[in-house]
Amino acid sequence: MGLRHFLTALTVLPSIVYCQSPLTSSKRGLVYVPSEKYPQDDANWDSPTSDLTWYYNYGSKPSPAFANFPKLQFVPMLWGTGNSSTFLSDVQSQIKAGANITYVLGFNEPDGDSSTGGSDIPAETAAQIWMQQIEPLAKQGVKIGAPACTGAETGRQWTQEFFTACSNCTIDFIPVHWYGDFQGLASHIGEYVGTFNKTIWVTEFADAHVNLQESQTFYNQSSSYLDRTENVTHYSYFGAFRSDVSNVGANSAMLTQDGKLTDIGSWYLGGGETGSVPKSAAYRKTAFIRSSLLVGLTTMWCVL
């Protein structure tokens, strides 16, 4: 093979090799987003074949839904300044009661403001809270994740400032978030490893607001990549909710508008494809308008 053909083969190869996602992975966890309206959806995450090993819920205490599901290890998170004062005591009392807490996560999107779900905290403030509420856990042998910034450039800057402000902090790994395409995810992870030389957890990721085919291709490529990449030890796909309430587009969701596992949802849990196609709230509205129109037309027909 000439060099040119070899290079072409090299660029073509990944898309052939990575188009199928591996069925199971020990790195996988759940970003748990409970549904008040449909608590029965929780049963999806508790399937006997599920390969999920851990979960987080953006809070410091475990979710009652998983109390009898020891396969899912709880990872507490100190979300933001508003709920930081009891973090240490919350986690220590779980450890005292015999819970296997081996990891905790720092602040959620501190470089983002509340309008996008960020906790909006200056790095210096985060560092002060960290020394009081998180650092003592490191002394107890718990592994600590840095604050998880947004995928924007502000995220890496914030993390840099945090490493400076928190030079005495024990930081074992860095959780990152990504919403975008696969190339972007891979280079984002590469940048973090290159800049900070830490192992990475990808604690939120999806290709937001793309069509179903693109969502699935992204899922397959990224899960396969994350499984192969040694520097990534844990990942949790963003989508443990119904497609009609998804804020990252219906096609990324792991559940349909009726609470059934989508193909992605099932693949993520180590199962086969379900053929259940996720629909958005807009689709529902259109369907509703169509049926009201029909009712209206029928009524008019009757009046006439």
Instruction: Rule CB under 6 A: choose which of 63, 159, 217, 236 binds ligand NAG.
Output: 217
Stretch that binds ligand NAG, among 25-33, 75-83, 182-190, 287-295 (CB under 6 A): 75-83
Which amino acid is present at 258? D
The 3-class secondary structure across 15-57, one letter per residue, is: HHHCCCCCCCCCCEEEECCCCCCCHHHHHHHHCCCCCCCEEEC
Instruction: Rule CB under 6 A: choose which of 11, 40, 68, 100 binds ligand NAG.
Output: 100
Stretch that binds ligand NAG, among 31-39, 91-99, 215-223, 287-295 (CB under 6 A): 215-223
Stretch that binds ligand NAG, among 74-82, 153-161, 240-248, 289-297 (CB under 6 A): 74-82
Is residue 267 part of the contact set for ligand NAG (CB under 6 A)? yes
Supply the angle between the helices 182-196 and 212-228 in degrees, to the nearest 10: 30
Is residue 20 part of the contact set for ligand NAG (CB under 6 A)? yes
Q: Which two tokens stand for residue 154?
A: 């502000």
The nearest distance, CB 220 to ligand NAG, in angstroms, is 4
Is residue 79 part of the contact set for ligand NAG (CB under 6 A)? yes
Total residues interacting with ligand NAG, rule: CB under 6 A: 26
C-alpha dist (Å) from residue 132 to 33, 83, 129, 136, 159: 28, 13, 5, 7, 19
The torsion angles phi and psi of 186, rounded to 5 degrees, stand at -65, -40
Decide whether 114 or 157 has the Cβ nearer to ligand NAG.
Answer: 114
Stretch that binds ligand NAG, among 178-186, 190-198, 250-258, 274-282 (CB under 6 A): 190-198
Give the Cα separation of 245 and 250 in Å (integer). Answer: 8
The nearest distance, CB 21 to ligand NAG, in angstroms, is 4
Instruction: Rule CB under 6 A: choose which of 186, 231, 245, 277 binds ligand NAG.
Output: 231
Give the Cα separation of 239 and 246 in Å (integer). Answer: 7
The nearest distance, CB 41 to ligand NAG, in angstroms, is 19
**Residues contributing to the site for ligand NAG (CB under 6 A):** 19-21, 58-59, 73, 79-80, 82-83, 100, 102, 167-168, 193, 197-199, 213, 216-217, 220, 230-231, 267, 273
